[in-house]
A and B are shown apart, each in its own frame.
Chain A
Amino acid sequence: MITIDSVSKKYGKAEVLNVASLEIPTGQSFGLVGNNGAGKTTLFNILLDLIRPTTGAIINNDIQVNTSEAWKNFTGSFIDESFLIGYLTPEEYFDFIGELRGMNKADINTFLAQFDEFFNGEILGKKKYLRDLSKGNQKKAGIVASMMGNPQVVILDEPFANLDPTTQIRLKKIINTLTENREITVLISSHDLTHVTEVCERIVVLDKGQVVKDIETSEATLKELESYFAV
């Protein structure tokens, strides 16, 4: 369970985030939507202890993220390309992350084998450095790396952007299997309303740093979101 308790972030006088209280139960697939500058990435960065909140705290499975680092062992994430190491090949990158997450070579190979379909033959064995891959393929590598080492929480910022249609569909399948057993919590942000409504059972809308909607996904959700954003 992730508890967000009165978290706010101010830069000078400008407040970019102010979330009074938000609880994400274990096993939930949680979607975050909002226009540019709504505070989605800021919230994820605070959740990963990459920036400090001005007030409040986030507790990730009983661990307050800015006081202990134990959450790192069960939290996988992919925020943007800066999470990749450009001068490594995808294989070497997976090895690196895998080793940090306590996997051995055999574990890593079995793990990667599940994603053959998702990679679509464009990632492994291509003799290319990550920096030379296309945006979409970089994203594929980053997303898969975020799931290494059996994390209990997976955080993905805009995972659907830059992916080709086939891969988008495959990613949705992967996310659905992740949350199937209600053990892994998945947090996703997206600009694509159709994708989040399909994948997430709960959707929170941020606007200028504030939670403006908190919806349990149903048939009507997509319509509701579309009408909200059609200003």
Chain B
Amino acid sequence: MISHFLKLEWKQYFRSAHWQKGIAIKVIMVFFALYFIVSFLAVGVGGYYLLKKEFPDQDPLQMVNAYLLYAFLGDLVVRYLMQKLPVMNIKPFLILPIKKSKLVHYVLGKSSFSAFNIFGLFFYVPFSIVLINEGYTTSGVLGWLFFIILLTQANNFLNFLINKNNKAFAIIASLLALFIGLQKFDVFDITVYGGQLFDAIYASPIYALLGVLLVVVLYNLNYKQLRNQVYLDEAVSQKVVEAKSADLSFANRLGDVAPFIKNDMRLIWRNKRTKTVFLMSFLFLFYGLIFFTQETYQKMPAMLMFASLFVTGGFTFNYGQFIPAWDSAHYKMLMSQGFRYRKFLESKWILMVVMTSILYFLSIPYLYFGLDIFLMITCGAIFNIGFNSLFLLFAGSFNRKRIDLNRSGFGNTQGTSATQFIVIIPLMLFPMLVFWLLNKFVGGNSGYIAVAAIGVLCLLLKNYAMNFIEKKYIKDKYVMINAFGKEA
């Protein structure tokens, strides 16, 4: 039976959307995965020596121990937000002759190996090896490591117990905030007690077995809770959110494009991935802080231009690059309705322009870094509105990958193809180059003026550009319908 399940897991993994991708994306994803693993390993191996060097009079193990409690509380918060018990997987098995208890054990057992539990090991294991190497008692370190693995597992199962309960989350989050606050103001230092606990495990590793008890208890609680809920209307049910309709009639003033604008606003707000894109664009506002605050970049104006483009361009870049794939699921329907394609494109354009303007407005505090910086952001915004919005619409006509809106937003690369990488060149590198050339060889404000001028020029030529873009979309209509019809 177990082997059956394992075989299915194997297939599920290798046939998942992750692997059905172009080679370029695979390479990039593997690269990122390796990057994270290597950085964790590096921290694990180097952490000991780093602490030793920075704080020569303290024991690195004790320092790590002191903060482990925070690590576990933080881990719980992250899990609460991101980790769900994959109960839906057992739906096809419910009608097969397999005992329900076995299915529940399978689901719970499987969760033990989730990435959330494995990731930390990349730090803890090398750290332990270094400890043993540095003369710590082997039994103590192994007991300590064992205890940590058990606590991770306990966190895993605790999360499933409290996951449906918002109160539990509020308690954990405020507990974490409280401890940090109390420590900050020297009222009460939890790290002392947390440290003592883990120090004690190292001193007498036999107590690590207490962790076993904890895991067993939590596992059993999970089992009991789940075993009675293996029904389609309980644990194994798809959640249906109640639809909330906001009044968007204010958009009606936009005339012909209003239906599309309203539709796009709903699209963005009601789907996870688009919502992530929308919220991320506000995070991009802070992108400038990284560059404007550092001395090194002050001598590299082209890099500052890069940051300036990002400050107001977050939405345009992230949303614009997947036009019209956002509508891929119902593209056929759109193509059988009687409207001018222009209206559809126009609505996307308006959306990008409005969002860029809002982000520009919000970027006013950058005046703090001086008029030069704000001028640069202004030029970036003009360029984003004039050139980038139109260019992304044009580039969108090369999109051939369907996007399933129901899938989650984070780290979802669906819809990504070579287009997304190539467009970076005109979007970012082109204005940077223009700015750099003029700034270096002509000087004065010529760089600013040139970048802004390109934006204004494009804005003036918008109608011509739109005609051209519309033609391109109509020409590629059948190819797009065909491509968007295919399962992603």
Contacts and interface: CB of A to CB of B under 8 A. Distances in A.
Whether chain B is bound by chain A comes out as: yes
A45 B337 CA distance: 13
Interface string A75-103: 10101001111111101100111011100
Interface string B321-344: 000000001111101111100000
A54 interface: no
A87 B271 contact: yes
Interface string B443-486: 00000000000000000000000000000000000100110010
Give the interface centre of A69, A87, A96 by most chain B CB atoms within 10 Å: A87
A35 interface: no
Contacts of A77: 336
Contacts of B330: 82-86
Contacts of B337: 72, 97, 100-101
B16 interface: no
Contact of B405 (A87, A91, A101): A87
B332 A69 contact: no
Interface string A46-73: 0011111000000000000000011011
A50 B271 contact: no
Contacts of A87: 266-267, 270-271, 405
Contact of A52 (B270, B329, B405, B478): B478
Contacts of A129: 241, 243, 270
B262 interface: yes
A192 B271 CA distance: 36
B259 interface: yes
Nearest to B331: A82
B263 A50 contact: no
A212 B481 CA distance: 30
B240 interface: yes
Given A51-B478, A83-B330, A132-B240, A88 B266 contact: yes
B245 interface: yes
Contact of B336 (A70, A72, A99, A127): A72
Given A89-B243, A129-B243, A83 B263 contact: no
B263 A96 contact: yes
A128 B332 contact: no
Contacts of B339: 72, 100
Which bracket fits the contact residues of A?
20 to 34
A87 B265 CA distance: 11
B119 to A, nearest CB: 33
Contacts of A70: 338
A194 to B, nearest CB: 29
Interface residues of B, number: 30
Contacts of B243: 89, 126-129, 132
B130 interface: no
Contact of B482 (A51, A75, A89): A51
A67 B335 CA distance: 14
Given A72-B337, A83-B330, A101-B337, A89 B259 contact: no
A15 to B, nearest CB: 18
Interface string B366-378: 0000000000000
Interface string B228-261: 0000000000001111110000000000001100
Nearest to B256: A99
Interface in A117-140: 126-129, 131-132
B406 interface: yes
Nearest to B336: A48
A48 B242 CA distance: 34
Contacts of A83: 330, 332-333, 336
Contacts of A84: 330, 333
B266 A92 contact: yes
A96 B270 contact: no
Nearest to B335: A50
A82 B482 CA distance: 13
A131 B266 contact: no
Contacts of A50: 332, 335-336, 478, 481
5 contacts: A51-B478, A52-B478, A82-B332, A128-B243, A131-B406
Given A83-B330, A86-B405, 6 more contacts: A51-B482, A82-B331, A87-B271, A89-B245, A91-B245, A97-B337
6 pairs of A and B residues whose beta carbons are closest in the complex:
A72-B338, A83-B333, A73-B338, A87-B270, A99-B259, A89-B243
Interface of A: 48-52, 69-70, 72-73, 75, 77, 79, 82-89, 91-92, 95-97, 99-101, 126-129, 131-132
